[in-house]
Structure 1
Amino acid sequence: MTKKQTKRILRIVFIIASITSLAFVPWILVKAWILPLPDTVQEQVNETIGHGLDGMIVYVDQSGKPPELFAAGWHNRENEIPADPKALFKIGSISKLYVAVATAKLVKDHRLSLDKTLADYLPELEGRIANADKITLRLMVQHRSGIPNFTDTPGYWEDISRDNRETLELVLNKPADFDPDKKYSYSNTNYLLIGEILDKTLGYSHHQYIKKEILIPLELNNTYSLLSEVDLDDVMSGYYEGYDDDIKYNDFINPAGSMLATAEDAGIFLRALNDGSVFNEGEQEIYSSIYVYEHTGLLPGYSSIAKYHKDIDAVVIQFVNTGGGYSWNLSEIVYNRIVKILKRQKSS
């Protein structure tokens, strides 16, 4: 067999393999990915609702342009209330960015030390959390502690209204996932514990500290720490594939992801995080050494993406109020398409 024939056979095998692999990819995702890119963000948002998502909000803050909001679908599908771009949304783990900023501020103020251990801060947990005497605050912020993730507990999502202590009980006396600082593994338990450390250090709720040090200075008047602080009518309804009821009433209260915000408020915060204006002198250097500048959030019925794109100097926030099935995969595809639209507009 000649070299040319070999190359031809390999090319055919590759094509067959590619076609075969597509058979195992949900066609709704293939369709969302291969459709021609619309001219505008609003057209993309409208198109996405046609893929089966209930509702969607997008906020874009691009340098040189006024910030823009886009929405489509339902705020509440039972009552056929259209999606409101100014609605409150459960931002899930994006909350961790605010907690990490608060931590950096308290470290700069010498009220916390990144090198002190979990046992130093919460001695009652020594012997109940493996390696508590070796896990530093730094490792918890960075998800390098090895502490098991409470949301991985079987049946956890059947009752998310547990308070912090009840939630913590789910992982006490369990073996570590790995030795401290040996690898990275995302664990919501880290931020539950950081919240407890902040509360103990402050002598009051870290939610109040976040409001005083972050929300008020940035004039984030539509950002809240807990569902109990808001009018539920202002909150975008949440839906889960295979479950008909609105699940916005589920109250996720621990510091790993309890916050609510409008897309605009989330965008203003993310811009301030990335340009450094949320920090006082010396705080950003600390933050940069411990945590990231973007995040996603997932709760039943809610998914969110918050990122800054340096190449086009744009903050893009995306909220989707559908969970389960392939909704998260679809959300990521759509987010990337929105960014492509913005890049194309920037270059034209």
Structure 2
Amino acid sequence: MKKSTQKTSKGKQLFRIVLLVGTVISIWFVPWIIVKAWIVPLPDTVQEQVDQTLTYGFDGVIVYVDQAGKPPAFYTAGYHNREQQLPAKPDALFKIASISKLYTAVSITKLVGDKQLSLDETLADYFPELVGRIENAETITLKMMVQHRSGIPNFTDNPAYWEDEQTNSKTALDFALDLPASFEPDEGYEYSNTNYLLLREIIKKVTGHSHEQFIKERILIPLELHNTFFSLNEVNLDDVMSGYYVGYDEDFKGNEYGMIATAEDVAIFLRALNDGSVFDAGEQEIYPYEYNHGGLVPGHQSMAEYHKDIDAVVIQFMNTTDFEGYQYNLLEITHNRVVKILRKATNQSL
């Protein structure tokens, strides 16, 4: 019995050593700047956190907080334009990238509510010419596409697309054609920009107008979002926050990447999505997608979240990105720290 106890004790000790070594190894391969962002003491205020965020290699940061019972608050640090040494502007326009998927998902929902399409219809129902070009087109439903459960390959994962993405974006679908499916429809999950490219084309086919026009008429105008746009051609480029990529001196803000908005406009939309006021009667029950989202394109990354426990919308824009994705990890960490500060302040006031 004693030997068995000793053996068990040694086994536990060995397990602890293995666990410790594994932890040390995992930490060793995590960039120390990310570890620092995790463990540094939490500041008392959001502005202190935004200032601290700037020390992680970002050129500019904008945080917008809309918390119930309090006036909206803007926090900024760093540069709107690094070359001109212009300080970050709270009302700057920013490329919101994949946050735009929320607007597309709401649009699909509204069309379902209008009985103009069904989430159970298939890709082949709208684009029979894609049968044989996109695997399983006959069984991939619109709902699967909205939820990234279609198995359609992501065109931005194709290295050839990035050889000249500004030109290739005009024929982006070509980079996903004739590739094997990532999985059988509804049998997995894989984030795919191809899904939303096709959904936007379906909106156009159903309405006879561009998806931009539909979003403007059914979302932007009703919510009075006057600072949300679909192209750099619609805005003064000086109003757009510059975008930088680690290792390059180039300002990426002149590259076209879709929707552009102020943090305040994104916050108004996100609250309307989460409280249901963006929907007409019966639509919210249909809505099949996320209620929060992030965005990432070269030079611009963003996060838009609603936190029910403190009834707060938090929008964060950061104008520096990198190849490894460490900067996006830092966006997630610093965004969570802003929420912790808000949560702590809310609990203390109760």
Please indicate the TM-score interval, normalised by the length of the shorter structure: over 0.9
Aligned match for 1:127, one of 118, 121, 132: 132
**Native 8 Å contact 2:112 2:119 kept in 1:** yes
| Shift in Å, 1:22 | 2.2
Instruction: Name the CA distance, whole Å, in 1 between partners of 2:81 and 2:250.
Output: 11
**Native 8 Å contact 2:79 2:88 kept in 1:** yes
Instruction: Name the CA distance, whole Å, in 2 between partners of 1:146 and 1:13.
Output: 38
5+ long unaligned stretches in structure 1:
253-257
Length, aligned pairs only: 341
Instruction: Name the CA distance, whole Å, in 1 between partners of 2:99 and 2:78.
Output: 23
Q: Indicate yes or no: 2:182 matched with 1:177.
A: yes
> Any idea what the Cα deviations from partners look like across 1:63-98, whole Å, max 9, x if unmatched?
111111111011110111111111000001000000
**Native 8 Å contact 1:160 1:250 kept in 2:** no
Alignment-derived partner of residue 309 in structure 2: 311
| Shift in Å, 1:18 | 3.0
| Shift in Å, 1:157 | 2.4
User: Does the residue aligned with 1:44 lie in a helix, a strand or coil?
Assistant: helix
**In structure 2, what residue type is equivalent to 1:248?**
K
Instruction: Name the CA distance, whole Å, in 1 between partners of 2:245 and 2:169.
Output: 25
Q: Indicate yes or no: 2:173 matched with 1:168.
A: yes
Alignment-derived partner of residue 295 in structure 1: 293
**In structure 2, what residue type is equivalent to 1:327?**
Q
User: Does the residue aligned with 1:161 lie in a helix, a strand or coil?
Assistant: helix
Instruction: Name the CA distance, whole Å, in 1 between partners of 2:161 and 2:321.
Output: 16
Instruction: Name the CA distance, whole Å, in 1 between partners of 2:278 and 2:130.
Output: 33
| Shift in Å, 1:7 | 5.0
Alignment-derived partner of residue 241 in structure 2: 236
Alignment-derived partner of residue 110 in structure 2: 105
> Any idea what the Cα deviations from partners look like across 1:229-266, whole Å, max 9, x if unmatched?
111111100000111110111112xxxxx211111110
Aligned match for 2:68, one of 58, 63, 69: 63
User: Does the residue aligned with 1:218 lie in a helix, a strand or coil?
Assistant: coil
**In structure 1, what residue type is equivalent to 2:141?**
T
Q: Indicate yes or no: 2:91 matched with 1:96.
A: no
- Structure having the larger proportion of residues in helix: 2
The verdict on how the C-alpha distance between 1:176 and 1:14 changes in structure 2, with shifts beyond 3 A counting, is closer
| Shift in Å, 1:8 | 5.5
Alignment-derived partner of residue 19 in structure 1: 24
Q: Relative to structure 2, which stretch is displaced further, 137-146 or 102-111?
A: 137-146
Instruction: Name the CA distance, whole Å, in 2 between partners of 1:13 and 1:176.
Output: 39
1:190-205 maps to which residues of 2 (within 5 A)? 190-205=195-210
The verdict on how the C-alpha distance between 1:90 and 1:205 changes in structure 2, with shifts beyond 3 A counting, is same
User: Does the residue aligned with 1:195 lie in a helix, a strand or coil?
Assistant: helix
Alignment-derived partner of residue 79 in structure 1: 84
**Native 8 Å contact 1:247 1:300 kept in 2:** yes
| Shift in Å, 1:23 | 2.0
User: Does the residue aligned with 1:248 lie in a helix, a strand or coil?
Assistant: helix
| Shift in Å, 1:164 | 5.8
Q: Relative to structure 2, which stretch is displaced further, 118-127 or 95-104?
A: 118-127
> Any idea what the Cα deviations from partners look like across 1:124-179, whole Å, max 9, x if unmatched?
22222111111111111111111110000013223222466611111112221111
**Native 8 Å contact 2:102 2:293 kept in 1:** yes
Instruction: Name the CA distance, whole Å, in 2 between partners of 1:129 and 1:22.
Output: 41
**Native 8 Å contact 2:161 2:168 kept in 1:** no
5+ long unaligned stretches in structure 2:
1-5
Instruction: Name the CA distance, whole Å, in 2 between partners of 1:11 and 1:105.
Output: 55
> Any idea what the Cα deviations from partners look like across 1:16-69, whole Å, max 9, x if unmatched?
543343222211111111111101000000011112111111111111111111
**In structure 2, what residue type is equivalent to 1:183?**
G
TM-score (norm 1): 0.94
User: Does the residue aligned with 2:252 lie in a helix, a strand or coil?
Assistant: coil
Instruction: Name the CA distance, whole Å, in 1 between partners of 2:190 and 2:10.
Output: 47
Alignment-derived partner of residue 3 in structure 2: none
Instruction: Name the CA distance, whole Å, in 2 between partners of 1:138 and 1:20.
Output: 41
| Shift in Å, 1:219 | 0.8
Q: Relative to structure 2, which stretch is displaced further, 137-146 or 267-276?
A: 137-146
**In structure 2, what residue type is equivalent to 1:176?**
A
Alignment-derived partner of residue 342 in structure 1: 342
Instruction: Name the CA distance, whole Å, in 1 between partners of 2:117 and 2:178.
Output: 26
Alignment-derived partner of residue 270 in structure 1: 270
**Native 8 Å contact 1:94 1:306 kept in 2:** yes
Alignment-derived partner of residue 154 in structure 1: 159
